[in-house]
Amino acid sequence: MADNKALLGEIFKTSRNSLEKDGYLVTDLKTIDYGIQFHVSKNLWKGTLRIYANKKGQIKYDLSQIKEETVRNQIQLIIDGNTTPETESVGSKNEYYESSVPFVPIIGTDESGKGDYFGPLVSAGVYVDLTTKPLLEKLGVRDSKKLNDNQIRDIAQNIRKVCANQFAVIEISPETYNNLYNQFKTEGKNLNVLLAWAHAKAIEEVLTKVDCENALSDKFADEKFIISKLQEKGKKIVLRQEHKAEANIAVAAASILARERFLEKLKKLSADLSITLPKGASPQVIEQAKKVVEKAGEEGLRKIAKLHFKTTESVLKK
């Protein structure tokens, strides 16, 4: 048992150092049956971690007291650097932490419609804190690309309830999109600037409703693109971009709200023209776009489609 005590002490020191390097505060160390217990905290979050020796003398981490999955997964990653074959952890799914950004109250942003010829470009921002996060997890919030249209509509309805007055949806109609795209193009700018403008608008809108110091979006260009579009209030925010940021629940929630609005508007445009407007940019899209031109002319196409797509050449080809 004395050997176990010494080993537990060494493992605790190593774990504490690793956690503190990652910004966690380690406090309230105490001895428990067969091991030690201590508190870890960061920002407004606080949880309990245990290290103990089982009956076989194996040293194990116990993360079962940490209920917030994203925090638990991050701590799992940190302590994995200290784990040996004799040192295992329990109470964790061993999943990769959803984001390299530690979970804090955060505004997640995402867009929908970027790859769809028909319909608007929609951006959304959702503020998530430690109160709303577990509620969103229970709703099954995840990247909208992993959900069908009906699931998106159902979950979006509940996101608006859970995050009432803590989200924003920015819709850029096809006609406005085309005008902005042409304007940016004459200024030597590309689509990334338009996307940055949309994300910045979503962040700014959310910041009129809540105070937040952190924002996260998917990586589509350098952070400076979005930062340059933020107004005075948004300039104070710490913005990060990551590939596959939809793994973060705030970004996932934003992706669902953005996609729901896109689907809603695509359906309305279809009803207004009495022509089914498909998603994406497939041969079927070209076929339906030609019907739009026959019915409403090129000006009609401009009001429902993103004209810079190569699809337009095929549609208007004589």
Between the CA of residue 233 and those of 24, 164, 201, 209, what are the distances in Å?
Answer: 28, 21, 12, 12
What length does the chain have? 318
Nearest to 259 by CA among 157, 127, 135, 107: 157
What is the per-residue pLDDT for 302? 95
Classify domain 2-90 at the CATH class level: alpha beta
Q: Which one has a higher pLDDT value, 71 or 121?
A: 121
- pTM for the model: 0.68
Least confident of 103-107, 134-138, 226-230, 267-271: 226-230
CATH architecture of 106-263: 2-Layer Sandwich (3.30)
Residue 71 has pLDDT above 70, yes or no: yes
Between the CA of residue 39 and those of 12, 36, 44, 65, what are the distances in Å?
Answer: 12, 11, 13, 10
How is the chain split into domains, by residue range?
2-90, 106-263, 270-316
As a whole number, mean pLDDT of residues 285-314 equals 94
What is the per-residue pLDDT for 55? 66
